[in-house]
Amino acid sequence: MKVILTEEVEAIGQPGDLLTVKDGYARNYLLPNNKAVHATTQNMKQLEHQKRLVGEKLNKIKSEAEKLAQKIGRISCTITKPAGEEDKLFGSVTTADICESLNNEGIEIDKKKILLGEPLKELGIFNIPVKLHPETTATLKVWVVKE
């Protein structure tokens, strides 16, 4: 029997997969538990329509992330911190500080998207990667200056 999965079934497939399974498995498990539907022509058309809508939505999200990446690439953030001798900071610059600086520039980003390995503990210019989308990463120029 041909079925279309509506949710993930372990060791069988992902939602939207068209499978041929034994009649008993489909009748007794997949269909009663709403894990699959019969592979009729109407259901196939509906599946193709849903895939197209999801694809369009993903493309829109990716294009918005790319626009934001270009905007981030054009700006640079300046963060002022008190520093001692040899340009060592009293404290450090963290992702929260960078996120706050971006918010002042009019860009709202979750601080978890800022890929800062370790907090910045000295003065200077740093290129910080910002992961906006699984396929899009922007580079933010951060200036850490003495207060």
**The CATH number, out of the four listed (3.40.250.10, 3.30.1320.10, 3.40.50.80, 3.40.5.10), of the domain defined by the range 2-62:** 3.40.5.10
Contacts of 123 (CB under 8 A, 6+ apart): 83, 87, 89, 144, 145, 146
The pLDDT, as a whole number, for residue 147 is 85
Quickly tell me which residue has 């706050």 as its tokens: 100
Among residues 146, 141, 63, 145, the alpha carbon closest in space to that of 102 is found at: 141
Q: How far apart, in Å, are the Cα atoms of 121 and each of 92, 94, 102, 116? A: 5, 9, 19, 12
Quickly tell me which residue has 């034994």 as its tokens: 22
Per the DSSP assignment, residues forming a β-bridge with 126 are 142
Q: Which residues of the chain have pLDDT under 70?
A: none
Contacts of 117 (CB under 8 A, 6+ apart): none
Per the DSSP assignment, residues forming a β-bridge with 88 are 122
Intervals of CATH 3.10.430.100 along the chain: 64-146
The sign of the dihedral angle between the CA atoms of 92, 95, 98, 99 is negative
Give CATH for domain 64-146. 3.10.430.100
In 10 A of CB 109, how many CB atoms? 19
pTM beyond 0.85: the answer is no
Quickly tell me which residue has 């990446």 as its tokens: 69
The pLDDT, as a whole number, for residue 87 is 80
Tell me how far apart the alpha carbons of residues 125 and 145 are, in angstroms, rounded to a whole number.
9
The pLDDT, as a whole number, for residue 86 is 83
Intervals of CATH 3.40.5.10 along the chain: 2-62
Per the DSSP assignment, residues forming a β-bridge with 45 are none
Among residues 46, 85, 11, the alpha carbon closest in space to that of 19 is found at: 11
The pLDDT, as a whole number, for residue 60 is 96
